[in-house]
Structure 1
Amino acid sequence: MGAILLMAGIAIVLYPYFKGHQELDQQAELVASFEQLGNTERLEELSSSLQPGDDPDVLEKLQGARGVLRIPRIDLEIVIFEGSSLETLSAGIGMIEPGKEIGAHNVGLAGHRALTYGKQFNRVGELESGDVIEVKTQEKQLTFIVKDSFVVPKTRVDVLNDNGEPMLTLVTCTPAGKKNPPDRLIITAELQLESP
C-alpha cells in the first residue's frame, strides 16, 4: 500500500511538469506550422496537398490563427487566435476583438496565467518598460515596445479602447492561480517597427 501511495504522490508531483512540456511541444508545432503554411486562408487548398506523414489535424488546429507572438525576455512564442473563448485560450492566446488589425489598432490579447493549466502569460508580470514584443502575421512583422504595466479591476475594459496609436494590450488574470480573480494585469506596448 505504501508503494502505491508513493507512486501516486510522484505522479501528482510530476504531472504539471509533463503537462507543461506537452503544452510547449504543441505550441512549438503550431508556431512552426503557421509559419510554414503562410496564409491560413489557403487551408482548404493546403489540406488537399498534404504529404504522407503530415498531420491533417494541424490545419484544423490553425483555424482562426492570426499570427505568432514572441516575447524574447520571457522566452514566450505562441500562436494568436481569433476570440477569447475557453477553447481558444486552451490552444494559444486570444485576440479579444478579432475585427481589429494588428499594427493599426489597440489590439487586446488575452492569455491564461495559472499554476498548472494554461501558462501562456504566467511570466508577463516580469516585463518592464522597453522590453520587446514581436508579432508575425502572414502579411508583416511588427515590433512593439512595452510602455506600461498595471492592474485594473476585471470590469475595466476601457484599456482596450483605440487611442489613435497602434498598440498591443496584453490582458491576464491576477493574481495567478486564484479562482475567479477580480483583477487583470495589463501590459501595454506601442508599435515601433513594421516590415513586410
Structure 2
Amino acid sequence: MRWLAYLLIFAGVMTMAYPKAKSVYFSYQEQRLLEDWESSMDQSKIKQSYKQLDDIFLQERSQDYKEQVSSKTGIIGKLTINQIQLSIPILEGATKNNLKVGAGHLSGTSPLGQTGNAAIAAHRSYTYGKQFNRLPEVKPGDSIQVETAHQKLMYTVTEEILVKPTDLTVLQNNKKNEAMITLITCHPMKNPTHRYIVKAVLKKEEVL
C-alpha cells in the first residue's frame, strides 16, 4: 500500500504544480511570439530599406541638390577611410535625399558600434574620390574609422564581395556575432547591375 501513498502524494504535487507549469509554459510561448514578431518587423524594415536602394542607385543622379537635407539634421556620425582619402557624413536612413549628400545607415540594421551588422550605403559619385567612388580600392586588412557623438570606432576590413541586388545575406550577422559594418554601393557606376560590398569588424573603441 506504500506505493499507493506515494502515488497519491505525487498526484497531489503534480496537481499543485500544474497551474504554475502551465503559466510558465504560456509565458514562454508569449515571449517567443513577441520575439518572433519583433524579429519579423526588423527583417521587414531591413528588406524595405535595402530594396529602396534599387530605385536610388538606378535613378539618374542629378547635379541639382535643391532637396538636400540640412547639414545639421539627421547626421549620426562620420566615416573615414584613409586608404582612399575618404571622409563622409553618415545620416540616419538610406533615403534618396540623404544619399545625395552623404552615406545612409540602413533602417533596421544594428546601431553603429553595437553587436550586429550596421549597414551603410552611399553612391559612387562621378567625381573621383567622392562618396564611395573608390570603395573597390579598399582591401582586407585596411582600417575604417567611424566617429559618433560619443565614440570613435575602429574597424578592420575582412572581405570585399560583389552580389546581386536581391542578395540579403550581406546584411546578416557573422557567426561570431561581432560588431561589424557593411558598406554598400552600386556596381558598375553606370547602369548598375550589382552591389559592391565591403565588410569590416570592430577592433577598437574609444569613448569621446
Fold match by TM threshold 0.5 = yes
Structure 1 residues 71 and 118, CA, compared in 2 at 3 Å: closer, same or farther? closer
Structure 1 residues 103 and 123, CA, compared in 2 at 3 Å: closer, same or farther? same
1:128 pairs, out of 136, 139, 151, with 139
Which amino acid is the alignment partner of residue 63 of structure 1? Answer: T
The answer on whether the counterparts of 2:109 and 2:119 sit within 8 Å (CA) in structure 1 is: no
Q: Gaps spanning 5+ residues in structure 2: where?
A: 1-62
Q: 2: CA distance between counterparts of 1:125 and 1:186?
A: 9
The answer on whether the counterparts of 2:109 and 2:118 sit within 8 Å (CA) in structure 1 is: no
Please state whether the residue corresponding to 2:150 is helix, strand or coil: coil
Q: Aligned residues: percent identity?
A: 38
Q: 2: CA distance between counterparts of 1:184 and 1:142?
A: 25
Using the TM superposition, give the Cα deviation of residue 116 of structure 1 relative to its aligned residue in structure 2, in angstroms: 4.6
2:154 paired with 1:143: yes
The answer on whether the counterparts of 2:121 and 2:185 sit within 8 Å (CA) in structure 1 is: yes
Using the TM superposition, give the Cα deviation of residue 191 of structure 1 relative to its aligned residue in structure 2, in angstroms: 0.5
Q: Which residue of 2 aligns with 1:38?
A: none
Q: Which residue of 2 aligns with 1:93?
A: 103
Q: 2: CA distance between counterparts of 1:192 and 1:109?
A: 18
Q: 2: CA distance between counterparts of 1:73 and 1:120?
A: 14
Greater than 6 Å deviation, 4+ residue runs: none
Q: 2: CA distance between counterparts of 1:65 and 1:195?
A: 19
Which amino acid is the alignment partner of residue 87 of structure 2? Answer: E
Structure 1 residues 94 and 161, CA, compared in 2 at 3 Å: closer, same or farther? same
Length-normalised TM-score, structure 1: 0.65
Q: Residues 159-188 of structure 1, C-alpha deviation per residue, up to 9 Å, x if partnerless?
A: 112231111100000012x22x12000000
Using the TM superposition, give the Cα deviation of residue 139 of structure 1 relative to its aligned residue in structure 2, in angstroms: 1.1
Q: Which residue of 1 aligns with 2:94?
A: 84
Question: Which is higher, the Rg of structure 1 or of structure 2?
Answer: 2
Q: Which residue of 2 aligns with 1:173?
A: 186
Q: 1: CA distance between counterparts of 2:103 and 2:126?
A: 17
Please state whether the residue corresponding to 2:70 is helix, strand or coil: helix
Structure 1 residues 99 and 175, CA, compared in 2 at 3 Å: closer, same or farther? closer
Number of positions where the alignment pairs a residue of Structure 1 with one of Structure 2:
138
Structure 1 residues 111 and 190, CA, compared in 2 at 3 Å: closer, same or farther? same
Which amino acid is the alignment partner of residue 86 of structure 1? Answer: K
Moved more, 66-75 or 111-120: 111-120
Q: 2: CA distance between counterparts of 1:140 and 1:131?
A: 20
Cα RMSD of the aligned pairs, angstroms, is 2.2
